[in-house]
Chains A and B, each alone.
Chain A
């Protein structure tokens, strides 16, 4: 499947249009939900951290520090990817699966078009912009934490800003983006595989979407563990 996906497209001008369409469907359309979740989960992380620091010897700026670390290292790349496995993954599986059921993929093949390349390659290219989504999630997660921290009265704005600047390791950003790119590949290929090779009718499209979400999540979690072990330990 991967080899067929990377074959030369039948026509680049058509492929370009498909890539822009998939950027719109997979990236731009996901920004709203990602922004909403990131902002509020960032706030929740801050509140829980602040409430669990009851020792007066621990400085208040640690709330900002803990929020930054949680958001950059885990929440933005991994948690958002699991959400994207549900949103983008099931969209990919169901749209390709429906094309399979209604013989649209057969129609492409009969016309002499490499259907795997036509359907999956633009999604893969579109998802190369996934780090852009994760950057927004990181920013809004930390911003949500700041809003919760300041307006909830857990610490001052200055403390929070000192916290998010404390012991900053640029490699953590690199690590997060390496994970993000690996997850982008998983998000493009596993749901496409489940949609493309599904058999049956409308009911099976639903089943394939569920299976694809489960497997995409499992692979993301396992990859997260392996990459963390390789890159941070």
Chain B
């Protein structure tokens, strides 16, 4: 049976609204307390220790993971809140030197919004390995993180134009790691590369909101996304076996997976015609399994609210909000953002 929105998905999953709100509240509070711990002033000793561990990338990585998890629960009851939390996660991933942060943001934002929010500058920092003092060196070379970067570049013209490398050469290099499992479902990297290849082959520069892809290309893209949606659904079905954890929404599974939501958003694009075409094909392919429709619905609902959140996205990704929020504790809160005159 086809689901029409994530509220219907919540019912189909048998999840309680209050439990989902509690999960979001916990992970958001955890992330905020860690952020507070990054400030030397007024931090609780425990948060200070957790937020400032020996490995400098680990603090922002924990903040990013916490915001990501909070966002994944929020997807099922408040899309705007979910997007806001996703953007905080994106910022923290970038602070940890992970291209996944740019992948998340690009999956939700149009080219114009990405430009405004500093997406091209973040791309340059990631590409040049100068993401700041908190970068874990190994992140930059990780095939998985490189694949996220490639997917963002392949999908968004504003990033493709700014990318100083050769996407095809990157694709060839990464293909050597094709069986590397990616993300929570352990999807083989080669599937992500196949998707990147399709997007790189799409040379459409027509940004007409009603423009559509060639039917065969849309079908191939949709079949990849449907396979990923089914893998996610299998994990959801298995986790329902433990009713104790499931009812508390505490089962160790991403009920909505932001990674997949971003991937669907990148492939479907911000243009409504193409998005309806691709996600509609996905919906047809997974019509027999309600759980396999969750990611597609999350991508659709994100695309609906995002245009009205461009200003907020810019504030969060450019850290402008930190300058207003006392005790936010980001030690990069001001002064280190690249000069906007570098925009081209």
Q: Do A and B bind each other?
A: no
